[in-house]
C-alpha cells in the first residue's frame, strides 16, 4: 500500500504522511488538488480524518486568472488562507462593467460601512499554490503526479482508486474533485444531465489593461455568447470568450475551446463517494462563482464525511444532506435565450 512512503510538501521537502487509523485504509481519498479538493482536505483534517490526495499534475497549471466574488473572503478566512491571499497582491475590483441587451452599465458588488465590496482577480497558479500548501500543512498526504486508472469496487460500493503505477489507494470515502473532467463520475458511468446548448470557452492573456486603463472586469455580449476581459495588474489582462451553438444555423457544437456546457452528474453521491465542485455541477464562467462553489462544496463534502465517520449521522443521511444543498443550484430553467441570440442579463444574474 505504501502508507509509509514519503511525499512532497509545499516547499519540495519530503515528510511522512499522517497514518490512517486502519493501516489498510484512509478515511478520505480526494481526487484532485484544486479549490474543491484542497477545501475538502483542510476541513477533513480539522475533524481529525486521515486524508490522501491524488493530483495528476506535477505542479499547479498556469492558466488565466480567476475572477472571485467578494463573498469568497469569509471562506478563505475559514480555511486559514486569508492572510496568504491578501499577501499575494491579487488585483482587486469593485464590480463589473456589463454591455448586454443593448445596455452598458457598471454593476457594483455592493458596499457597507467599511466601504465598497471588492472581488479578486486571482492568478490561478498562485491561488492553487496557496491552497495546496494549506492542505499539506493541515496534514493531508499529497501524491503528485498520481494518475487514477480504475475504481476499486466491492459490489456497488467504491473502496478507493487504483493509480496507473499499480498502487491501490483505499478509503472509507472518496471525493471526486477533478473539476470538469469528472474522472470518477465518468469511470463509474454516472449520467450527465445537460441544461444548456453546447458551450465552448477559449481563454488567454494580453499585455494591456482593458478599456484604456479601466481597472474593472468587462463582460460583453456577442451574437453567439459573450467575451470577458479582466485586468490582472502590471499591464496584463486575462480574457475568456464563450460561444454557444446556434440551432437556427444548423450548428450543434461550436468548434475549439473547452466544453463548459451546463451539466450535473446524478447521482452526485453514492456508496463510498461524493462528487464536488465542477465534477458535480458545471456552469459556464460568467457568474464568477466557480471557485466559490468549489470551496463551499469541498468544505461541505468533508463536513458530511466527518459527520458520518464520527457517528453524528449515518452515511445515507449525510449524503442526502449534501445533495439537498448542491442540487438546487442546478434546478432552475435553462438560462437560455441562446437559441434566439444571447442569454439575457436577468437570467445571468439569477444564475450568479
Per-position DSSP letters for 152-165, written without gaps between them? EEETTEEEEEEETT
Q: Which helix (H) or strand (E) holds 173?
A: strand 168-176
Confidence grade of residue 352 (pLDDT, cut at 50, 70, 90): very low
- Output the pLDDT for position 127: 93
Asked whether the beta carbons of 56 and 177 are under 8 A apart, the reply is: no
3-state secondary structure of 244: strand
- Output the pLDDT for position 121: 87
Q: What is the pLDDT of residues 81-101, one digit of tens each?
A: 999 999 999 989 999 999 988
Cα–Cα distance for residue pair 135/143, rounded to 1 Å: 12
- Output the pLDDT for position 114: 92
- Output the pLDDT for position 97: 92
Say how many C-beta atoms besides its own lie within 10 A of residue 234's C-beta.
Answer: 9
Q: What is the pLDDT of residues 16-63, one digit of tens each?
A: 344 555 657 999 999 999 999 999 999 999 999 999 999 998 876 666
Q: Which helix (H) or strand (E) holds 296?
A: helix 290-309
Confidence grade of residue 332 (pLDDT, cut at 50, 70, 90): low
Cα–Cα distance for residue pair 127/81, rounded to 1 Å: 10
Question: Does residue 221 carry a pLDDT above 80?
Answer: yes
Cα–Cα distance for residue pair 82/145, rounded to 1 Å: 27
Which of 108-122, 198-212, 243-257 holds the top average pLDDT? 108-122
Asked whether the beta carbons of 350 and 344 are under 8 A apart, the reply is: no
Question: Does residue 170 carry a pLDDT above 50?
Answer: yes
Question: Does residue 70 carry a pLDDT above 60?
Answer: yes
Say how many C-beta atoms besides its own lie within 10 A of residue 292's C-beta.
Answer: 18
Q: Which helix (H) or strand (E) holds 252?
A: none
- Output the pLDDT for position 254: 58
Question: Does residue 304 carry a pLDDT above 70?
Answer: yes
Which of 203-207, 212-216, 275-279 holds the top average pLDDT? 275-279
Question: Does residue 246 carry a pLDDT above 90?
Answer: no
Domain boundaries, the chain: 7-351
Confidence grade of residue 341 (pLDDT, cut at 50, 70, 90): very low
Least confident of 16-25, 256-265, 284-293: 16-25
Cα–Cα distance for residue pair 297/28, rounded to 1 Å: 15
- Output the pLDDT for position 3: 36
Q: Alpha helices, DSSP H only, in the chain?
A: 35-46, 73-78, 82-87, 124-137, 183-187, 290-309, 315-326, 345-351
3-state secondary structure of 28: strand
Burial of 102 per CB tally in 10 Å (0-12, 13-18, 19+): exposed
3-state secondary structure of 35: helix
Among 299, 319, 300, 298, residue whose Cα is nearest residue 308: 319
- Output the pLDDT for position 204: 85
Q: Alpha helices, DSSP H only, in 56-123?
A: 73-78, 82-87
Confidence grade of residue 252 (pLDDT, cut at 50, 70, 90): low
- Output the pLDDT for position 80: 97
For the domain 7-351, what is the CATH code?
3.50.50.60
Amino acid at each position: 500500500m505504501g502508507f509509509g512512503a514519503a511525499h512532497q510538501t509545499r516547499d519540495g521537502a519530503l515528510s511522512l504522511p499522517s497514518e490512517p487509523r486502519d493501516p489498510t485504509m484512509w478515511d478520505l481519498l480526494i481526487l484532485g488538488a484544486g479549490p474543491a479538493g484542497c477545501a475538502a482536505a483542510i476541513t477533513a483534517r480539522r475533524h481529525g480524518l486521515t486524508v490522501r490526495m491524488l493530483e495528476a499534475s506535477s505542479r499547479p497549471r498556469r492558466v488565466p486568472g480567476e475572477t472571485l466574488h467578494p463573498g469568497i473572503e469569509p471562506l478563505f478566512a475559514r480555511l486559514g488562507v486569508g492572510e496568504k491571499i491578501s499577501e499575494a497582491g491579487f488585483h482587486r475590483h469593485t464590480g463589473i462593467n456589463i454591455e448586454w441587451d443593448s445596455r452598458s452599465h457598471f454593476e457594483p458588488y455592493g458596499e457597507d460601512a467599511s466601504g465598497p465590496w471588492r472581488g479578486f482577480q486571482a492568478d490561478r497558479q498562485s491561488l492553487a499554490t496557496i491552497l495546496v500548501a494549506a492542505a499539506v500543512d493541515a496534514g493531508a498526504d499529497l501524491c503528485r503526479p498520481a494518475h487514477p486508472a480504475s475504481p476499486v469496487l466491492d459490489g456497488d460500493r467504491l473502496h478507493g482508486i487504483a493509480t496507473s503505477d499499480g498502487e491501490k489507494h483505499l478509503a472509507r470515502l472518496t471525493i471526486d474533485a477533478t473539476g470538469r473532467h469528472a474522472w470518477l463520475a465518468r469511470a463509474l458511468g454516472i449520467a450527465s444531465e445537460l441544461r444548456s446548448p453546447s458551450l465552448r470557452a477559449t481563454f488567454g492573456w494580453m499585455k494591456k489593461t482593458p478599456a484604456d486603463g479601466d481597472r474593472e472586469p468587462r463582460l460583453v455580449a456577442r451574437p453567439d455568447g459573450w467575451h470577458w476581459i479582466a485586468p490582472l495588474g502590471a499591464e496584463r489582462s486575462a480574457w475568456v470568450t464563450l460561444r454557444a451553438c446556434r440551432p437556427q444555423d444548423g450548428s450543434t457544437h461550436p468548434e475549439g475551446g473547452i466544453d463548459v456546457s451546463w451539466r450535473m452528474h446524478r447521482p452526485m453521491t453514492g456508496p463510498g463517494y461524493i462528487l464536488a465542485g465542477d465534477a458535480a455541477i458545471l456552469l459556464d464562467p460568467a457568474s464568477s462563482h466557480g471557485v466559490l462553489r468549489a470551496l463551499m462544496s469541498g468544505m461541505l463534502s468533508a463536513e458530511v464525511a466527518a459527520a458520518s465517520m464520527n457517528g453524528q449521522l449515518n452515511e445515507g443521511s449525510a449524503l442526502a444532506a449534501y445533495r439537498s444543498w448542491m442540487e438546487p443550484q442546478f434546478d432552475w430553467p435553462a438560462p437560455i435565450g441562446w437559441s434566439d441570440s444571447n442569454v439575457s442579463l436577468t437570467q445571468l444574474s439569477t444564475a450568479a
